[in-house]
């Protein structure tokens, strides 16, 4: 499905990002993990072997993003797909949310998406102008929270809603170059980042609101993302695919 395609995954050394990279390998692609956790990057690099690559990058830092994409192009080659997956949670009720937690979440989840997308579209437009009929595509990892809000997570919900706007804008701006952009909206996924949420005493009540009755595991959610990068989704752009166990029905 992704044979010989290089796919950059932000937050790719852990959680959903790591699961995405591992499945890219299964599908014959070359994953490139960008992450800030150097220990996890080292572990990922050992796991990927020569078929993948890892680079340290803070996606909220403009200079680091530009440098990371330059290194990928110089050391790995053309990039065929980008998955904007990096994200953090800093929960608090709106009246208790401080600016540090607001800025941290917006910086990584939304500004990081913009910075990586900007770097990616520059590269893809150059390839398109050079004659590549299908230079590549972008998938943004958003969330159901971006569509319906999330109790105690105004920063996260706002950032994920912003990612949906980014998706549609990029889809409109770059369709003439045959560059596609789509979003995947997750519900609750079992990762290190959601441990606090999943330890909430009201978790069972929340799970009861999910028609499939459980949180997703990382391996449950990766294939829809990779489908959107594949030729099978060649006529799909500007869309937001819910992968949430049915929890968003009615919204």
Q: What pLDDT, on a 0 to 100 scale, did the predictor assign at position 250?
A: 53
Residue 250 located in a structural domain: no
Q: Give a yes or no: residue 34 inside a domain.
A: yes
What residues make up the domain containing 200? 6-241
Please identify every residue annotated as catalytic: 156
Higher pLDDT, 212 or 179: 179
The answer on pLDDT for 43 being more than 60 is yes
| Whole-structure pTM value | 0.94
pLDDT value at residue 251: 46
Task: Decide: 164 and 240 in contact? Cβ < 8 Å.
Answer: yes
In a domain, 165, yes or no: yes
Classify residue 249: in a domain, yes or no: no
pLDDT exceeds cutoff 70 at 203? no
How many separate domains does the chain show? Answer: 1
Q: Does position 105 have pLDDT exceeding 70, yes or no? A: yes
Q: Does some domain include residue 113?
A: yes
Whether residue 247 is contained in a domain is answered as no
Q: What is the CATH number of the domain that holds 164?
A: 3.40.50.720
* 14-21 average pLDDT score: 96
Report pLDDT digits (tens) over 120-172.
999 999 999 999 999 999 999 999 999 999 999 999 999 999 999 999 999 99
**Mean predicted confidence (pLDDT) in 9-25:** 97
Q: What is the mean pLDDT of residues 194-198?
A: 62
By C-alpha distance, which of 129, 121, 117, 123 is closest to 72? 123
pLDDT of residue 201: 64
DSSP 41-61: HHHHHHHHGGG-EEEE--TT-
């Amino acid at each position: 499905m992704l044979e010989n395609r290089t796919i950059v995954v932000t937050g790719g050394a852990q959680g959903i990002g790591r699961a995405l990279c591992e499945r890219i390998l299964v599908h014959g692609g070359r994953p490139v993990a960008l992450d800030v956790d150097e220990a996890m990057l080292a572990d990922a690099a050992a796991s990927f072997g020569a078929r993948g690559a890892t680079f340290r990058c803070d996606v909220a830092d403009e200079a680091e993003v530009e440098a990371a994409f330059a290194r990928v192009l110089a050391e790995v080659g053309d990039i065929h797909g980008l998955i904007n997956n990096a994200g953090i949670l800093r929960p608090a009720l709106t009246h208790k949310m401080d600016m540090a937690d607001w800025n941290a979440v917006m910086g990584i989840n939304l500004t990081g998406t913009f910075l990586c997308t900007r770097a990616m579209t520059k590269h893809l437009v150059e390839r398109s102008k050079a004659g590549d009929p299908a230079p590549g595509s972008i998938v943004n990892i958003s969330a159901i929270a971006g569509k319906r809000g999330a109790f105690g997570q105004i920063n996260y919900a706002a950032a994920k809603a912003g990612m949906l706007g980014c998706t549609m804008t990029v889809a409109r701006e770059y369709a003439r170059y045959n560059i596609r952009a789509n979003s995947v909206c997750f519900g609750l996924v079992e990762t290190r980042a959601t441990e606090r949420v999943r330890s909430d005493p009201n978790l069972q009540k929340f799970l009861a609101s999910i028609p499939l009755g459980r949180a997703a595991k990382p391996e449950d959610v990766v294939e829809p993302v990779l489908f959107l990068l594949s030729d099978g989704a060649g006529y799909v752009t500007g869309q937001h695919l819910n992968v949430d166990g049915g929890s968003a029905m009615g919204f």
